[in-house]
Amino acid sequence: MERGSRDSFTRMGTLGIEEECFVVDEDGRPTSGTDELVYEHDPPEILAERLDHELFKFVIETQTPLIEDPGDAREALLEIRQALVDHATDHGFQIAAAGLHPLAKWRELEHAEKPRYRSQLERIQYPQHRNTTAGVHVHVGVDDADKAVWIANELRWYVPVMLALSANSPYWNGFDTGLQSARAKIFEGLPNTGMPTYFEDYEAFDRFERRMLETESISDRGELWYDVRPHTAHGTVELRTPDGQADPDIVMAFVEYAHALVEALAEEYEDGASGYGRTHRRELLDENKWRAIRHGHEASFIDREMEGTIELGEVVDRECERLGIDGIKRVYERDSGAKTQRRLLEEAGPDALCESLLLGTE
């Protein structure tokens, strides 16, 4: 039974970026699924051991190598993306990214053969059968296990902020859901997802992880699919909330924000701050997440003190000033992915919509 360890948490501020993308045909339409890119042909060397299917064969996941210096993150992301696009092109495919592909219909798609996914389909049934979601996961290294759990507790308030900014999945199974991030709601249909509860310290989290494994509630540690979690093998805090994005600038804005947040919270922890996490009811955090899912860029949130409300734009301004960042400001000031998808479909049709989702590499 594979377990993580307190000893994994050794380095502060390293980065890793995971992206889930869609394998589409030359017209940008979802493929029913293919093994060609993962199993039938060797990928470019940089993708070796960093490329796999997700649950569906048309969803593919990449990981950057460990990024030691945050200044190298963009180059690392673009290198992986370019290799994936080149690999796909060599075999007659293209790559697209969004929280959900607007034209994908889950009943028409093939599930991956991997035993892990077959086991999940058998165990979870309908919620997993329809799970065509694709997201962005950002890992930030933390040099102490208790600190990582404390940071993850505090990050729960910021998860809806990132989700609202990333909202890029209005369509699911061929219809308009009326949501800005339908991906987030569909993914919440699985067990062990959504907003995690508060953990007192690393020992409490480790006890929970162990209990879930020992009771066969999960098959492996990776099936704790919460929006934010201490990753007990990589020694990171992992933020799993943003929708997939074609535009690398948007991904990099979340990477910049996640890194700055973790570093700032680490300083608070070291200064002995008590934090807000202990007092944040999960139900109120869930309400904030719902507001992000439903309203995207137009969301307002229950504030960190859990007393009043604050508009997303005000949060963005405050965070950019507090942390010395600007990427999320640029994301906020442009139309959301969801709004852009709706406009393109209405004004230019499905071809233009599909083209807009093709993976950017510069």
Cβ density class 88-102: b for 16+ within 10 Å, e for less: beeeebbbbbbbbbb
Domain positions in the chain are: 6-356
Amino acid at 294: R
pLDDT at 200 over 70: yes
Residues 6+ apart with CB under 8 A from 133: 20, 99, 100, 169, 183, 186, 187
pLDDT at 122 over 80: yes
Whole-Å CA distances, 223 to 17, 38, 61, 124 = 18, 22, 16, 12
The percentage of residues in the chain with a pLDDT greater than 90, rounded to a whole number, is: 88
Please give the mean pLDDT across all residues of the chain: 95
Structural tokens at position 278: 């202990």
Domain 6-356 in this protein, CATH class:
alpha beta
pLDDT digits (tens, 9 = 90+) for 336-354: 999 999 999 999 999 999 9
**CA-angle at 214, arms to 139 and 227, nearest 5°:** 25
Report how far residue 97's alpha carbon sits from residue 342's, in angstroms, rounded to the nearest whole number: 16
pLDDT at 1 over 60: no
Report how far residue 165's alpha carbon sits from residue 262's, in angstroms, rounded to the nearest whole number: 18
Question: What distance separates the 2 farthest-apart alpha carbons in the chain?
Answer: 55
With contact defined as beta carbons under 8 Å apart, do 157 and 304 qualify?
yes
pLDDT given for residue 112 in this prediction = 83
- Statement: the pTM of the whole predicted model exceeds 0.95: yes
Report how far residue 46's alpha carbon sits from residue 84's, in angstroms, rounded to the nearest whole number: 9
pLDDT given for residue 27 in this prediction = 95
